[in-house]
Structure 1
Amino acid sequence: MEIRQRVREITVESGWALMKLEGVPDKPGIAAQVFGAVAKAGISVELILQNAGVNKVTDISFTVRQADAAATRRILESLKAAVGARKADSLERLYKVQVVGTGILNDPAYVGQMFKALGEAKVNILAIGTSEVRITCLVREADQSRAKSALNDAFQVGVAG
Structure 2
Amino acid sequence: MNKQYKIPESVLVIIHTVDLQVLIMERADQEKFWQSVTGSKDDLNETYAATAAREVQEETGLDAAQFKLTDWQLQNVYEIYPIWRHRYAPGVTQNTEHVFALTLPQIVPITLAPGEHRQYRWLPYKEAADCCFSSSNAEAILQLPHRIN
Category of TM-score, reference length = shorter chain: 0.3 to 0.5
- With the length of structure 1 as denominator, give the TM-score of the two structures: 0.31
**Structure with the greater alpha carbon radius of gyration:** 1
Q: Which has the higher helix share?
A: 1
- With the length of structure 2 as denominator, give the TM-score of the two structures: 0.33
